[in-house]
Amino acid sequence: MNARRPSGLFCGLGAPVDDVRSIAVLRANAVGDFVLTLPALEALRSAYPDARITLLGRAWHAAFLAGRPSPVDEVVVVPPTAGVTVAPGAAEDLPAQSAFFAEMQARRFDIALQLHGGGRYSNPFVRRLQARVDAGFQATDATPLMRTLPYRESHPEALRLLEGVALVGAYGCDIEPRLIATPRDRAEAHAALPPTAGRPLVVLQPGASDPRRCWSPAHFAAVGDHFAQLGADVAINGTDAEGDAVQAVLQGMRQRARAHDLTGRLSLGGLMGLLARARLLVSNDTGPAHLARAVGTPTTVIYWIGNVQGYGPLSSARHATAVSWRLECPACGRNCLGVDCGHPDSFVDDVRPEAVIALAQPLFEAPPPLDAMPQETRPDPAHRRLA
């Protein structure tokens, strides 16, 4: 079960590993982070088509990937571990960790990859797996692995991860993530918001985990009104915790008859089903924006300049970025490049609605790209489905 003949991005960075039957990948973080890992996971699947790929992740990974075609064979949920799945200094579950590592060591992984940051906490974690070959990133304060790359800030994350898997001879060919919206996803979206014949769908995503990355509800309302006046249905999506932001957008719109509150009504899969039929997503820099990118939905995303280089799209046919160049905190005036001053004030509200509409309008009006088609009609034969 050897690797295929090398070719692709970063070819030659690391030698392929012989006789690989099992691979562990540590990437136990949020939705957008996982989506940007998909090109790297695809590269691993292509390089080692017969190997079993185990994602060491979170419970949400297991739920989301269950029954979904992907390059991953299974998800093993990482127990509470400081610096990996909980904050440094937070309570850990040491008995669960001991049981976890005993099980992982018994599997005798051929390769263990650390794709979980600079490695201060994650490199000792990966070393403890006792794989035949371990590889990944190494910041200046991290212990080394057998094969390492320096971890440097301000790099496109998807390319960084592709370079990471190249350490073990997995040389990717695709840089944009791809996910399949399944019939189950589409059925859930249909139940939450049935399509209206003849009306295109525009989705607004006004929430984000970091309030500094949140555009104001009034700005989202202006965008919603613009596309509602063009005949679109406008779906405003958010988690239960983002319900206030969704309501503020809805109340700020004049075209409320065309607006639909989807707060807490969709799982991640259901959201993918909705995005797969949408003409456009306008969003903060947050997980749903990356999901839309992965299902091929055109997006216009509002980014802070400190984030766009790492998490912005790497292609332009379907995606536009509206960028705020604000460097100083609106509350205290401190330059926050690489620093968190602790204030929750938005760094992106300087971006005007007119600028976002100007970027989004061509995407809304454009015909679908030539490769656009329902995702379930083109599954990769190499993909697995988790039970």
The pLDDT tens digits of the residues spanning 84-131 come to 999 999 999 999 999 999 999 999 999 999 999 999 999 999 999 999
121-178 confidence digits (pLDDT tens): 999 999 999 999 999 999 999 999 999 999 998 899 999 999 999 999 999 999 999 9
The SS3 of residue 139 is coil
The H or E element containing residue 37 is: helix 31-47
Spatial distance between the Cα atoms of 303 and 154, rounded to a whole number of angstroms: 14
- Residues 178, 371 contacting (CB under 8 angstroms): no
Helix-then-strand count for the chain, H and E: 12, 14
Using the CB atoms, write b or e for 36-59: b if 16+ within 10 Å.
bbbbbbbbbbbbbeebbbbbbbbe
pLDDT at 371: 54
Task: State pLDDT tens for residues 348-377.
Answer: 999 999 999 999 999 999 876 555 544 443
Share of the chain above pLDDT 70, in %: 93
Of 198 and 181, which is predicted with more confidence?
181
* Burial class (CB within 10 angstroms; exposed 0-12, middle 13-18, buried 19+) of 24: buried
Long-range pairs for 300-307 at CB < 8 Å and ≥24 separation? 300/356, 300/359, 300/360, 300/363, 302/213, 302/215, 302/348, 302/351, 302/356, 303/213, 303/348, 304/212, 304/213, 304/347, 304/348, 306/336, 306/337, 306/338, 306/347, 307/213
Q: What is the mean pLDDT of residues 328-334?
A: 94
Q: What is the largest CA-CA distance in the chain?
A: 63
User: What is the band of 379 on the pLDDT scale with cuts at 50, 70, 90?
Assistant: very low
Given this model, what pLDDT does residue 356 score?
98
Write down the pLDDT at residue 376: 42
Cα gap 231→127, rounded to integer Å? 56
User: Mean per-residue pLDDT for 291-299?
Assistant: 96
How, if at all, do strands 133-138 and 233-236 pair? unpaired
Alpha carbons 74 and 57: distance in angstroms, whole number: 10
From residue 174, give the alpha-carbon distance in Å to each of 34, 36, 70, 384. 16, 11, 15, 18
Q: How many CA atoms lie within 13 A of 24 on its CB side?
A: 30
* Contact yes or no for 212/240 (Cβ under 8 A): no
- Looking at every residue in the chain, the average pLDDT score rounds to 93
Banded model confidence at residue 2, pLDDT cuts 50, 70, 90 = low
What SS3 state is found at 302?
A: strand
With a CB cutoff of 8 Å and minimum separation 6, the contacts of 365 are: none
CA distances from 158 to 41, 230, 286, 330 (A): 11, 35, 15, 30
Tokens of 43: 């590269």
Task: Give the chain's domains with CATH numbers.
Answer: 22-174 (3.40.50.2000), 183-368 (3.40.50.2000)
pLDDT at 378 over 70: no
- Angle value at C-alpha 114, between 109 and 119, nearest 5 degrees: 135
Cα(287)–Cα(366) distance, rounded to whole angstroms? 24
Rounded CA separation 215/333 (Å)? 19
**What pLDDT sits at residue 369?**
58
Q: Which residues pair with 281 in a beta bridge?
A: 203, 299
Helix (H, G, I), strand (E, B), or coil: what is residue 5?
Answer: coil
Q: Is the pLDDT of residue 320 over 70?
A: yes
